[in-house]
Amino acid sequence: AQKITQTQPGMFVQEKEAVTLDCTYDTSDPSYGLFWYKQPSSGEMIFLIYQGSYDQQNATEGRYSLNFQKARKSANLVISASQLGDSAMYFCAMKGTSYDKVIFGPGTSLSVIP
């Protein structure tokens, strides 16, 4: 069975600082993809970044980077230079092959403090 764990229900970060949101996953699939989504209070789900299990390099998208440690089955999201608009829920997600639908972790609420 596939599972996503996000152990930080809530996080605070000072504006302009970097923050790491933790995500660990469990799968026996040899090939899978990992995602991060942002959900502001408006409710929309915004795709941030993707990492494939066979990608040699960690994914980066602007201020977002994914710290992928395959042996530890972790895919932490790093947000650099936090902005007030980064305050939102963040969901880690995964899509494998044995169950080929995207499953989501419980989410982490990030609050950026001015």
User: Is residue 61 classed as helix, strand or coil in its secondary structure?
Assistant: strand
**What letter represents residue 47's amino acid?**
F
For 56, what's the count of Cα atoms within 13 Å in the CB-facing half-sphere?
A: 0
Tell me the C-alpha to C-alpha distance, in Å, between residue 52 and each of 44, 70, 83, 93, 96. Answer: 24, 10, 27, 12, 10
Residue in 28, 30, 52, 70 binding other proteins, rule: CB under 8 A? 52
The answer to the question of residue 105 lying near other proteins (CB under 8 A) is yes
Please, what is the end-to-end C-alpha distance for the chain in angstroms? 41
Q: How far is the CB of 13 from other proteins (least distance, A)?
A: 21
- Does position 64 interact with other proteins (CB under 8 A)? The reply is no
Q: Which stretch binds other proteins (CB under 8 A): 18-26, 34-42, 66-74, 77-85?
A: 34-42
101 contacts other proteins (rule: CB under 8 A): yes
Does the protein bind other proteins through residue 40 (CB under 8 A)? Answer: no
Interaction of residue 96 with other proteins, rule CB under 8 A:
no
Residue 102 in contact with other proteins, rule: CB under 8 A: yes
* Residues at the interface with other proteins (CB under 8 A): 33, 35, 37, 42-47, 50, 52, 91, 95, 101-107
